[in-house]
Structures are given as C-alpha cells and as structure tokens.
Amino acid sequence: MTAGSFEGKLFEEAAHRLYASNPAVQRPRFEELVKMHLDTFNTDDVDFYSSPGRIEIVGNHTDHNGGKVLCAAINVDTLASVSERTDGVIEVKSKGYPMLRVDCSSPVFCASEIGTSTALIKGVVDYFVRSGKKVGGFSACMTSSVPKGSGVSSSSSFELAVAEILNVKFNGGKLSPIFKAKASQYAENTFFGKPSGLMDQSAIALGGVNMIDFADLDDPAIERANWRFDDLDIFVIATGGDHSNLTDDYAAIPHEMKEVAALFGAKLLGEISPERWERDKRNIVDKVSERAYLRAEHFFEENARVQLAVKQIDDGDEQGFLRTVTESGLSSRYKLQNTYSPAGQNHNLENALDRVTRIEGVKATRVHGGGFAGTILVFGDSNASGVLPALRVMFGEENVFKLRIRESGAEKLELE
C-alpha cells in the first residue's frame, strides 16, 4: 500500500472499528509506517496488522490460581506494516528503536537478550516451531499507541502482533486465539524472563469482552459478553510509583493463596468448589495468617463477581455492572490488600482511588492489574463532560488514557 492508499471506505471503516476514531486522526500513523517501511526495506508493498492493548474489568489476581477473569481488548494498538522476504529472517524496525533481527532457523534462548523485544520475537517463533507450526521470515515496521507503564500490556500487544503475522503468512490464518496467546505467554515467560499468567495475551488475541475461566490452564473456557454500555467512558490512570521493589509483594499473593489451597489438599484455590470453601473455611482460620485467609476469600468472591458481571453485561444491567466493578475494587483494597505495600511508603493507588470518587460523573473505580503501584480503572458517565478534564488536572494529561472496547483481537487489516 502506498502513502496515498488511506482514503477509501475500507480504511474509514477500520478506523471507526479499531479505534473509535475519525479516519483523519489515524491516517498519519499509517502513512508514516509506509514511508518508514520504504526507507528501511525499499518497498511500500505492505500488509497491515493491528494488535490491541487490554484491560482487566473484574477478576483481580484470580488467573494464577485457576480462577475467572473478565477482560477486554481496547482501542490502542501495535500497528505493523509487513512485507515478504524469502531468507527465513524476521527483521522488525519499531519507531524510535534499533532494528531487531531473528533467524527463524535458530530461535535459541540467549541470556543477554532477557528483557528485550528480540527475546519476545524469538520466543514466539520457538513456540510455533515446537508446536509443529510453520514459520518464516518477514520485514516489519511497527509503531505503538499502547502506552508503556499504563498496565494495558504493551509487551503482550507486541507479542500477539508477531504471532498473528506468523499465523496469517505461514499457517493460513487458522491458528486459534488461545494458541497465539500461549505462544506469546511462552515468549514472555521463557525468553523475556517475566512470569505472567495467560490473561493479558488471551484478552488481546480474542478481542471484545470475555470471561476466561482458567480452571483448566491448558484449555481455558471462554464466554464472550455482549458489551453495549457505550454511554460509559473508560479510563486507565497511571498513578506513579516504583515497581522495582515490589517483587516480594506480588509473589506473596499467589503463594498465600496456594498456602490456603494446600490445607484443602489442593494446589490451587480454583480446584476447590465454592460450596466446599463455604462449608470448611472456618476450619482453617487459625492455620494461616489473617491476610492469607482474606486473600482466599477475595478469590472466591471475585470469581462470583466475574460470573455476575458477565450476566449484567448481557442483560444490559449497567447499574448492577457498575456496582460489581466497585465491589471488586473494594475487595482488592481490603481483602486482597494490593493497593499499598507494607514495606514501602507509596500510597499513590489508595490516594488515587479516594480522589477520583469525588469527581462528579465517575461511576465505578478499582485497582487495575497487579496493584501496589501502577494503575487504576475508572468508569465515567460519557455525558458528564467534566470527568476527563478533572482527571487530567489531578494526574496530568500524560497519565490519563481514555479508552473504548475493541471487538476484534490481533488481526490482519483488509484496507483495499
């Protein structure tokens, strides 16, 4: 596609569908990628791929213990222009970064590449190869509107872009969303060196709003929700804070949940039925710490909230849904206890949650993601024009991200 190819009906439809945006706003991104591709690879004969970010709506710290999560793809993305090559080499040039190069014939783990985008590409390729899928080379230029450090999974968006390119170009576009999600998780865990569950990648691969039940981690059950609350604005807000000293805080949550599970003869809390938990939970009160008990209680109650939120979305019960989101946030704060690190002095999350509730038009709030430092999720009345300006005054324009639900996951775009 040349730089003048973004005037037609298909591009306009894609801009509205992917970004909920005026085509004129998105057109420069595409044109810039074509120019970058021509300058870098000496061709403008490219296809485009788009891989969204994601949000967690309900289901805080449940996936790692075999629980349920309600998550969604959103209208920010990793956008890639892709052209053919025949030497089995992947080259990726992202805006503002040096060229990345991976030979598909030898996607070998390298310790010096831990934490790099090269590791992510290698990991996705290696998973495809180990799974008996086809791989091959391509040239790509990428740009991203997924804000880093905002808790909406910029790394997973990048991984899924690579997985979808391999899926379409070499496997006929037939691989399932969960396969692509697992390939991306494998890359992040094994090559990039970051432990993670499967929720981020699954949300991006699936698109739309989905309940994912991780009771079977190898084959999670998926239930799609019919999102229609278009009168709600969604905001993710970066509250600041340093994650570097929080590893022990994050690790303690799954550890303590598994500690409780072991008292029931299980490895994960998800292996225990809600009925058995209710019947026998009093028997363990004196056998674990109060915090471990409360975190387990949060797990079971949060699973029920996820299921309830799906029904409320499908029934069009917006007020009920907002109550459920708020209850999820309160449970994270007071039972899961991941809004403040006992070892630190960072109260950013708690302060942010207290402050946003005072804004007229804010309908629901909760911690977003891992917690302790980082981001919060806010639902606001789209008819209340003062919500966005108030959030920007409180947190700075660069820390407030207004989002919409995106119905499609990582995909090749048909623009002509």
pLDDT in tens, 20-79: 989 999 999 999 999 999 999 999 999 999 999 999 999 999 999 999 999 999 999 999
Range(s) of the domain holding residue 399: 232-403
Task: Work out the number of other CB atoms within 10 angstroms of the CB of residue 133.
Answer: 17
Q: Same domain for 166 and 248?
A: no
Q: What total of structural domains would you count in the chain?
A: 2
239 with 180, same domain? no
* DSSP state, residue 405: B
Query: Could you give the percent of the chain with pLDDT greater than 90?
Result: 85
Distance separating alpha carbons of residues 365 and 352, to the nearest angstrom: 10
Question: Do 115 and 184 have their domain in common?
Answer: yes
Give a yes or no: residue 1 inside a domain: no
Residue 249 lies in a domain: yes
Q: What are the pLDDT digits (tens) for 359-395?
A: 999 999 999 988 888 899 999 999 999 999 999 999 9
Say whether pLDDT at 243 is over 70: no
Q: What is the pLDDT of residues 184-235, one digit of tens each?
A: 999 999 999 987 778 899 999 999 999 999 999 888 999 999 999 999 999 9
Rounded distance between C-alpha atoms, residue 264 and residue 24, angstroms = 58
Quote the CA–CA distance of 99 and 104 in Å, as a whole number. 16
Best CA proximity match to 69, nearest among 226, 215, 178: 215
Dihedral sign for Cα atoms in the order 406, 410, 414, 415 = positive
Q: Are 369 and 56 in contact (CB under 8 A)?
A: yes
Strand partners, 238: 375
Amino acid in the structure at residue 278: E
Do 236 and 380 reside in the same domain of the chain?
yes
Bridge-based pairing state of the strands 362-368 and 138-144: unpaired
- What proportion of the chain, given as a percentage, has pLDDT over 70? 97
Question: Are 270 and 215 spatial neighbours (Cβ–Cβ below 8 Å)?
Answer: yes
CA–CA separation, 210 and 226 (whole Å): 9
SS3 365: strand
- Structure-model confidence comparison of residues 345 and 169, the more confident one: 169
